[in-house]
Structures are given as C-alpha cells and as structure tokens.
C-alpha cells in the first residue's frame, strides 16, 4: 500500500499549507476535515514563512551575482601582489638591492619564495605589508619598484578588500536568512503533521482508496513503493477478467 510522505523541501511545505487554505475557500469552515483553530494558525504562519524563503533566495542570488566580480578582483589583486614580490626578488638577484630589504615587507632576509596567497585574507594581508614596506623603504632613500608600481598594487588590493568585505556582508545575510528559514521550517513541519493527522482521522472510516482520494484533496501526499501500483493493477485486471467469464451450469455437462 502507498505510504504518506511528509514534504522535505520548502516548496513542498508551502504547497501543503496552501492546499489546506485553498480547500477552505470551497468548503464551509464547519465542514473542514481539520479544526478551524489550525486553519487560523496556518493562515497567520504562511506569509511569514514565504517571506523568509524569499529573503533567503534573494540573498543567495545577490551573493551569486557578485561572485564573478569578486573573483576577478581577487585574481588581479593576487597577481599584483605576487608580481611585486617577484620583481623585488629579481632586483635582489641582479644586485640592485640587498637581501635585507625583504624585511621591510615582512619577508625573511634569505627567503626567495613568494608567500602563500591561496587564502583570500592573505592577499589583503600581504598587500598591506607591501604598501607599508615600500613606503618605509623609499622614505629611507630606496628607489621605488616599478612594473608593477606600489600604487597599482595598492589600488587593486583596495578594490579587492572592498569586495571582500562586501562579500562577507552578503554571506552573513545569507546565513542569517538561512537560519530564519530553518526556524520556520520546524514550525511548518509541526503544522503539516497536525494537519495531515486530523485529515486522515476525519476520513478514517472510508476504504483505503476513498480515504486517499479525500485526503489528497487536502494536500496529503501518498507515494507508491516500487512495483506496488503495477501489482495492484494486475490484481484488478485479473478480477475483472474473472468476472467477465461466461457462467457455466454444471447440469449441462452431466
């Protein structure tokens, strides 16, 4: 026999609750298969639940739409930070600067490797170190590094820093709305469970098939297990075939 399956997505939950409100538009409230107090609870709850879902989806959409711009600014900032450090190392290799200048930028004197920039926050951190270090080194009489200049490093890192902070705000909004939906989801499940239990109880005296048909009008969802429907159809066809066989009087054969 098919089993009742409670909704497991927000869209399915909303459909289940709307089905209950929809049938109340066609049936007198005294004839509903569930209590009027439950109807009032659903009517009050549903708009708030739908609003929370919309807010969450909008937050996700906004975060997604900004991701391409964010990734491009990250790519450029990482590129300028990496290239500046490479050029610094080239200057040291050519003998134009001493290894000690690396310490202005927070790099060990004998380190020739480019610091890891895999984490987004590290790009911002090293960008700020390079800007501060270049300003300090040139203030003490050192020649500026070009291609890229520290001005380009600063501009691209600042652009990315703004995008980084904005993306964090979007992520926080999405997380906050997600938690709000989760709270509503728990209440929705309780309402639907109460609703479907009341509806099934109302039609409990009917045959299984009639009960499912009536309950389905209230949004109750029934799911057939694999192969069950086919077996039922085969049984019905067999019964129908047996009823259609011609009646044979045993006395005719005697």
Question: Which residues on adjacent β-strands are paired with residue 223?
Answer: 3
Task: State the pLDDT at residue 220.
Answer: 93
The H-or-E segment that residue 23 falls in is: helix 10-23
Distance CA 96, CA 159 (A): 31
pLDDT of residue 173 exceeding 80: yes
Task: State the pLDDT at residue 243.
Answer: 58
Mean pLDDT of 243-252: 52
What are the tokens at 180? 């709000």
Task: State the pLDDT at residue 238.
Answer: 59
Task: State the pLDDT at residue 227.
Answer: 61
pLDDT of residue 209 exceeding 50: yes
pLDDT of residue 254 exceeding 50: no
Task: State the pLDDT at residue 246.
Answer: 58
Q: Quick check: 178 and 56 in contact, CB under 8 A?
A: yes
The string of pLDDT tens digits covering residues 12-31 is 999 999 999 999 888 887 88
Rounded to the nearest integer, the mean pLDDT of the chain is: 90
Q: Quick check: 174 and 60 in contact, CB under 8 A?
A: yes
Give the residue among 214, 181, 184, 208 at the shortest CA–CA distance from 196: 214
pLDDT of residue 236 exceeding 80: no
The H-or-E segment that residue 197 falls in is: helix 150-202
Name the one residue in this structure whose structure tokens are 């045959």.
207
The string of pLDDT tens digits covering residues 29-53 is 788 999 999 999 999 999 999 999 9
Name the one residue in this structure whose structure tokens are 């005719």.
252
Q: Name the DSSP letter for residue 27.
A: S
Higher pLDDT, 208 or 236: 208
How far is CA 236 from its chain centroid? 45
**CA dihedral sign of residues 234, 236, 237, 243:** positive
> Over pLDDT 90: what percentage of the chain?
79
Distance CA 96, CA 107 (A): 18
Task: State the pLDDT at residue 251.
Answer: 47
Task: State the pLDDT at residue 78.
Answer: 97
Mean pLDDT of 123-147: 95
pLDDT band at 233 (very low <50, low <70, confident <90, very high): low
Lowest mean pLDDT among 26-30, 75-79, 167-171, 233-237: 233-237
Cα distances from 96 to residues 87, 88, 93, 145, 198, in angstroms, run 11, 10, 8, 11, 85
Task: State the pLDDT at residue 206.
Answer: 92
Mean pLDDT of 197-217: 92
């Amino acid at each position: 026999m098919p089993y009742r399956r409670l909704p497991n997505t927000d869209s399915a939950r909303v459909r289940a609750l709307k089905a209950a409100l929809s049938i109340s538009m066609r049936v007198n409230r005294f004839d509903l298969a569930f209590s009027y107090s439950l109807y009032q609870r659903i009517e009050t709850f549903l708009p708030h639940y739908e609003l929370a879902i919309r807010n969450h989806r909008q937050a996700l959409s906004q975060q997604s739409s900004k991701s391409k711009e964010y990734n491009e600014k990250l790519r450029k900032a990482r590129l300028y930070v990496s290239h500046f450090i490479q050029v610094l190392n080239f200057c040291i290799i050519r003998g134009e600067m001493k290894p000690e200048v690396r310490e202005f930028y927070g790099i060990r004197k004998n380190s020739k490797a480019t610091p890891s920039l895999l984490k987004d926050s590290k790009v911002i951190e090293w960008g700020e170190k390079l800007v501060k270090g270049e300003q300090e080194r040139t203030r003490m009489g050192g020649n500026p590094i070009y291609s890229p200049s520290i001005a380009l490093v600063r501009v691209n890192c600042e652009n990315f820093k703004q995008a980084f902070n904005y993306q964090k705000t979007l992520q926080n909004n999405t997380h906050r709305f997600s938690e709000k939906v989760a709270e509503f989801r728990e209440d929705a499940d309780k309402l639907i469970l109460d609703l479907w239990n009341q509806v099934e109880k109302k039609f409990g005296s009917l045959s299984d098939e009639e009960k499912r048909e009536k309950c389905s009008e209230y949004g109750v969802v029934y799911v057939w297990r694999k192969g069950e429907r086919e077996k039922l159809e085969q049984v019905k066809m067999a019964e129908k075939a047996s009823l259609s066989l011609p009646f044979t009087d045993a006395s005719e054969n005697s």
